[in-house]
Amino acid sequence: MKNAIGMVGLGRMGANMARRLHQGGAQVVVYNRHVDKAEALARESGMAAADTLEALVAALPSPRVLWLMLPAGDATQSHIDALVPLLSAGDVLVNGANAQYETSIAQAAHVEQAGVRYVDAGVSGGVWGLQEGYALMVGGSREAVAAVTPFLQILAPAPDQGWLHCGPVGSGHFVKMVHNGIEYGMMQALAEGFAILNGKEAFHLDLAQVAEMWRHGSVVRSWLLDLSADFLKKDQALDSIAPVVADSGEGLWTAQAALDLRIPAPVITLALQMRWASQGHADYTARMLAMMRNEFGGHAVQKEA
């Protein structure tokens, strides 16, 4: 098979990346720990499915390219450990997880001892990537990245746009980490701004109209604003949405990198901490503050329902 690639992990990102590669002319063999998911995707699209990692490797011509789209940590590491003994010198293993860049550097050292080339790939695009293309930040040797370039060109919004060989191993995940840290700050600023607009009840502002207007000519126009305008058209009150915001870990890694480099990053750090606050981690702090106000000033304390 010419232009063949194995895709390991068929979650929301992995499955859609496999679809985009297939639609772009790549010969895709898919594998998932739950085999029925791979088989369903194969039936839907005409791709080939493998029921074991051994079958996946056997189905690909040398030099093989395997792209892992798995959760960072044990899931990715266990698949790497299982795949490396099955691969040959010159094969390429791509780690597309939201992994810490230092972990990628350590993984590469292990993988490359077996003669297998390693690429760390930060992938952005979410559920829109299938339609719009993905932003891809990759690290690795020139030879390893050259081997995966045909696939990067299919996955990206255009063959010459939206992907970058950032530098040596680790640099792809480092750039993606900082990208996500910036994303935290941008999202926080937009959310705070719309909360202020919503709070000025006397003006009866239509937040959907404000968001739509800002999308055209404003300096705050962005994809995040586009998405916000879309959901505000459907629901401005957001009463059914729990005020809990998860964090993937990349905001924390970005803040830690800033501390290590002694580079001030207050916006990213505070945006991360606001996510923690939404998860209940500020509850005891708030209770302490309420009790201090009660003790020194006699201010009333609200009781939990």
Give catalytic residues, as residue numbers: 176, 183
Q: Which residues pair with 30 in a beta bridge?
A: 7, 49
C-alpha pair distances (Å), 263 with each of 127, 255, 266: 33, 9, 9
Angle at 32 between CA 31 and CA 35, to 5 degrees: 95
Q: Which residues pair with 137 in a beta bridge?
A: 122, 164
CA 17, chain centre distance (Å): 13
Edge-to-edge strand ranges of the sheet holding 117-124:
48-49, 27-31, 4-8, 65-68, 92-95, 117-124, 135-139, 163-167
Q: Is 164 helix (H, G, I), strand (E, B) or coil?
A: strand
**In what helix (H) or strand (E) does residue 198 lie, and over which residues does it extend?**
helix 171-199
